[in-house]
Amino acid sequence: MPVGQRYHIETWGCQMNAHETERVSGLLEAQGLRRADGARDADLILLNTCAVREGATGKVLTRLGELRSLKESDPHKVIGVLGCVAQERGAELFRRAPHVDLVVGPRALASVPRLLEQVRTTRHLMDLEHYTESVLYGHEQIRRQDSRKAYLTVIEGCSKACSYCIVPFTRGREVSRPFANILSEVRYLVERGTLEVELLGQNVNAWRDGGRDFADLLREIGAVAGLRRIRFVTSHPLHFSQRIIEAMRDCKQVCNYLHLPPQSGSDRVLRRMKRGYTRRHYLACIGALRQAVPDVRLSGDIIVGFPGETDEDFEATLDLLEGARFDSLFSFRYSPRPHTTATEFTDQVPRAVQDGRLARLQERQRQIQEVANRRHLGQIYEVRVEGPSPKGHTLCGRTAHGLMVHFEAPRESPDSFVNVQVTRTGIHSVSGERVELSPGTSPITAL
Ligand code: SAH
Ligand code: SF4
Ligand code: F3S
């Protein structure tokens, strides 16, 4: 490959982007490139980018500015922008940052090796196609971060049209990956020691292949011998079904964790967001899930200060928090994005009002989480060890329902799973002590 020996990739955004960086790394390594220690050290620098909020795009543009001097001091370096900002800005990136050589959208990443062949002879190469075949990637080549936990794309793109969201523009229409393809990757991974898979999609539970739906997919992956945990993100309330609840209840490998973003608690705002469901539908989904799977952990996303959001609408969102009692919540100030219809609303909410609402929402959620986490006190959970703890304990890991646990254990312990009894609870995590269970007993949350 004519771009030298060493590559460096910086990644922003969602799990899908993290995984796509693994895929691009695999493609580059198949061409003989090796990972560099950093941007200075690299012949090829790629930014895999996120455009979901203005700030995310802004970070990429700032980083590109920083890379200009690196390119000036070493014109041999090749610089590429991949992912959602590549799609959002397209050729404008070349005008704004002429030191960029390559712009490749999130559905065209398989083109990267081909474009790199031409990059020394042709300036400013670009591929922004939404290739349908992007779901048919070769899984043998992926350069995974973690050998025990693997991301797996099951559906790409988004065919919804939420009025605030740039993702349908950046990622194109939804395409499900064929069932046989997914299953052969799962088997391949498990044979090589993977214990946990995380199924990815913008609307992962919209997955379909012929007569099979997402509930069938969960059950069939759950039947692969040797796989211990199955997670999935992100679910959409419109595609959440009793069949998925039953698959979560029946299939012991499917983790009792659900990320189901409501976005707002006000029906008026939900309508203007074009989410397609009501607050009542949302609460009914999580109510039915909690009934079938009582120890489920639940998280969500909320946007505050959407155009036209009144104090009354915001109170309805605070009230949704009381009903939903999320175990964790991601909350954002509404950010106007190009290629979305919400920018046409004339009743934008002032920044100071958005900030005040965000602070109130986050404070209320902290209180809810602190109380919600107390239910774990004294429980014994099976924890998958993830690594050293940043919190003064030796190790940390996650329960099957996604709770972060810090605990003491010999650092060199080779065990992938340990049993930990929770002795203290906090807002974002809990801590505890390792316990040996007598034979025949199982932890409260078994896998
Ligand atoms: N497909 C997922 C979400 C993908 S984007 C779903 O439909 O739930 C991840 C999160 O970013 C969204 O859930 C939303 O809360 C937030 N987000 C998306 N566009 C945004 C915008 N313009 N301003 C602020 N937050 C936004
Ligand atoms: Fe964006 Fe809505 Fe699609 Fe989610 S469902 S990616 S919020 S358009
Ligand atoms: Fe960001 Fe694109 Fe993911 S906009 S959140 S990287 S789909």
Q: Are residues 154 and 269 in the same domain?
A: yes
Q: What is the DSSP letter of 342?
A: G
Q: CB within 8 A of 346, min separation 6: which ones?
A: 307
Question: What are the Cα distances from residue 395, in Å, to 137, 230, 416?
Answer: 35, 22, 12
Our mutation pick for probing the ligand 2 site, out of 88, 167, 205, counting the most ligand atoms within 8 A of Cβ, is: 167
Picking from 374, 392, 408, the residue at the C-terminal end of a domain is 374
Ligand 2 pocket, residue 204 CB under 6 Å:
no
Atom 4 of ligand 2, residue of closest alpha carbon:
202
**Within-domain flag for 207:** yes
Where residue 244 sits, what CATH number does that domain have?
Answer: 3.80.30.20
Instruction: Give the pLDDT score at 181.
Output: 96
Note whether 307 and 261 are same-domain residues: yes
256 CA to centre of ligand 2 in angstroms: 23
Total domains in the chain come to 3
User: Does the bond joining 234 to the residue before it have cis omega, within 30 degrees of 0?
Assistant: yes
CATH of the domain at 121: 3.40.50.12160
Task: Kindly calculate the radius of gyration of the chain based on its CA atoms and give it in whole angstroms.
Answer: 23
Q: How far is CA 100 from CA 45, 71, 74, 80, 165, in A?
A: 10, 9, 13, 6, 26
- The answer to the question of residue 445 being in a domain is no
In-domain check, residue 370: yes
| Last-in-domain residue among 328, 351, 374 | 374
403/423 same-domain check: yes
CB 415 within 8 A of CB 405: no
Residue 245 lies in a domain: yes
Strand, helix or coil for residue 156: strand
Residue 1 counted as domain residue: no
- How much distance in Å is there from the Cα of 168 to the middle of ligand 2? 7
- What's residue 138's pLDDT? 87
Clarify whether residues 150 and 109 are in a common domain: no
172, 114: one domain: no
pLDDT at 94 (0 to 100): 98
203 CB near ligand 2 (under 6 Å): yes
**What pLDDT is attached to residue 31?**
95
The pLDDT score that the predictor gives to residue 3 is 72
Q: Output the residue whose Cα is nearest ligand 3's atom 1.
A: 50
Query: Residues 123, 101: contact at Cβ < 8 Å?
Result: yes
89 lies in the same domain as 152: no
pLDDT at 447: 38
Contact at 8 Å (CB) between 283 and 298? no
For residue 355, tell me if it sits in a domain: yes
Ligand of minimum distance to the alpha carbon of 338: 1
Choose one of 17, 170, 303, 348 to mutate for the ligand 1 pocket test, by most ligand atoms within 8 angstroms of C-beta: 303
Task: Determine if ligand 1 sits within 6 Å of the CB of residue 259.
Answer: no
Are residues 382 and 370 part of one domain? no
Q: What integer pLDDT is reported at residue 446 of this predicted model?
A: 40
Question: In the numeric block, which tokens belong to residue 311?
Answer: 């104090």
Question: For the CA atoms of 154, 158, 160, 162, what is the dihedral angle to 10 degrees?
Answer: 120
Partners of residue 156 on adjacent β-strands: 175
Instruction: Give residues with Cβ within 8 angstroms of 180, minimum separation 6.
Output: none
Q: Are residues 126 and 148 in the same domain?
A: no
Could you identify the atom of ligand 1 that is nearest to the CA of residue 331?
15
pLDDT of residue 438: 62
**Cα(277) to centroid(ligand 3), Å:** 23
> 71 in ligand 1 pocket by Cβ < 6 Å?
no
Instruction: Encode the chain (447 residues) as per-residue pLDDT tens digits.
Output: 667 799 999 999 999 999 999 999 999 999 999 999 999 999 999 999 999 999 999 999 999 999 999 999 999 999 999 999 999 999 999 999 999 999 999 999 999 999 999 998 998 999 999 999 999 988 999 999 888 999 999 999 999 999 999 999 999 999 999 999 999 999 999 999 999 999 999 999 999 999 999 999 999 999 999 999 999 999 999 999 999 999 999 999 999 999 999 999 999 999 999 999 999 999 999 999 999 999 999 999 999 999 999 999 999 999 999 999 999 999 999 999 999 999 999 999 999 999 999 999 999 999 999 999 999 999 999 999 988 888 777 899 999 999 999 998 776 665 689 999 999 999 999 999 999 876 555 565 443
| Nearest listed ligand to the Cα of residue 14 | 3
DSSP-assigned letters across all residues of 164-231: T--HHHHH-S-EEPPHHHHHHHHHHHHHTT--EEEEE-TTGGG-EETTEEHHHHHHHHHTSTT--EEE
Asked whether residue 351 falls in the same domain as residue 265, the answer is: yes
Query: What is the rounded distance in angstroms from the CA atom of residue 9 to the CA atom of residue 12?
Result: 10
Supply the pLDDT for residue 394: 82
Pairing of strands 196-200, 149-153: parallel
> How crowded is the C-beta side of 144, counted as CA atoms within 13 Å?
17
Q: Clarify whether residues 357 and 388 are in a common domain.
A: no
Which residue range forms the structural domain that includes residue 286?
Answer: 134-374
CA of 161 to the centre of ligand 2 (A): 7
The answer to the question of residue 440 being in a domain is no
Last residue of a domain, one of 374, 397, 426: 374
First to last CA, the chain: 45
Let me know whether 308 and 423 are in one domain.
Answer: no
What does each C-alpha distance from 281 to 275, 306, 336 come to in angstroms? 11, 20, 27
Q: Looking at the domain assignment, is residue 439 inside a domain?
A: no
Q: State if residue 337 touches ligand 1 by the CB under 6 angstroms criterion.
A: yes
119 with 233, same domain: the answer is no
CATH number of domain containing 408 = 2.40.50.140
